[in-house]
Amino acid sequence: MFIGIIGATGNIGRKVVTEALSRGHHVTAFTRDLARATTTHPRLTWAELDIFDSAAVADRLPALDVLVSGYQPGSAAVDFADTVAESIADPATHVTAGRSLLRALHTHPRTRLIVIGGAGSLEFEPGRVLADHDDRLHPLLESIGLPKEYAAAVRGARDGLDVLRTSNRLWTYLSPAERIGPGERTGRYRIGTDQPVLDADGLSRISYDDAAVALLDEIEIPRFIQRRFTIGY
C-alpha cells in the first residue's frame, strides 16, 4: 500500500513510519521541517506539507491509499514544553486541521484518513466523557506531567473528533491509551471503542511502538471506518 504520514518525525509518527516500512508498504513521510528527515529507505520519500493548506493536501492524495495524521502543534519530539504551550494557546487547532483534511478528501473520497487523536474523548462511564469532567481530567493530567491548563487542549482534540463525526468520508480516529510513551514493541494490545482499555492495575497504557502496530493492523484490515477505536494492554 501507499501510505502518507503527517507528523512523521513525531513520537508516534516515527514509529508508524518504521512499522509501515517493516511490513513492505511505501511511505511518504510529511514534515514541516525537512532538516529533521534523517531516516532513509528505498520505499520512503520525505516531503514538506502544511496540514492547514487543503489544496496542498489534496494534491498529495492521488498517490496515496491511506493518509495518517499524527499532527500535533509544535514539535513534541524536540521540545515537548513548546508543544504543550502551543496546544493550550490554540485548543481549536485540531478542529481546524480536521476541517482542512476533510476539504482535501472531498476531491479524493476514496483515500482513507486515519487521525491519531487523544484519549480525552473516551468515556470513563457510559455517556460521561473525560474531557468534560475536570475533577477526573486534572488528576490524570498531573499524573502524566501535564498542567491542568492542558484540559483546554484535551477538549480541543475531542472537538476535532466531533468534526470527523459529521463527515461521510472514509475516516478512522485512533484514541491511544491515556498513558502513552516509550516502551518495547510487544506486538500485543487489546482494542476498545469508546471507553479506555485498562490493564490488570487499572491503568490505560500503551507504548508508542505498539500504538504503531495497532494502527498498521487497522490500515491493513479495516474494522473502524467512520468510527473511533482505542487500544491498551
Domain boundaries, the chain: 2-232
Mean pLDDT of the chain: 95
Q: pLDDT for 17-36, tens place per residue?
A: 999 999 999 999 999 888 88
Among 67, 7, 65, CA closest to 37:
7
Residue 153 — φ and ψ, nearest 5°?
A: -70, -35
Q: Could you give the 3-state DSSP secondary structure of residue 225? A: coil
Q: Could you give the 3-state DSSP secondary structure of residue 112? A: strand
Q: Does the pLDDT at position 213 exceed 60? A: yes
Query: In the CATH scheme, what is the homologous superfamily, with its name and number, of domain 2-232?
Result: NAD(P)-binding Rossmann-like Domain (3.40.50.720)
Grid cell digits, residue 94: 485540531
Residue 28 — φ and ψ, nearest 5°?
A: -105, 115
Q: Does the pLDDT at position 124 exceed 70? A: yes
Give the residue-averaged pLDDT of 175-194.
96
Q: pLDDT for 132-159, tens place per residue?
A: 999 999 999 999 999 999 999 999 999 9
Beta bridge pairs of residue 67 = 4, 113
Task: Give the C-alpha distances (Å, rounded to integers) separating 189 from 99, 112, 205, 209.
Answer: 30, 23, 10, 11
DSSP 199: -
Give the residue-averaged pLDDT of 52-70.
97
DSSP 197: -
pTM for this entry: 0.94
Grid cell digits, residue 17: 513510519
Q: Does the pLDDT at position 76 exceed 70? A: no
Q: Which amino acid is at 107?
A: T
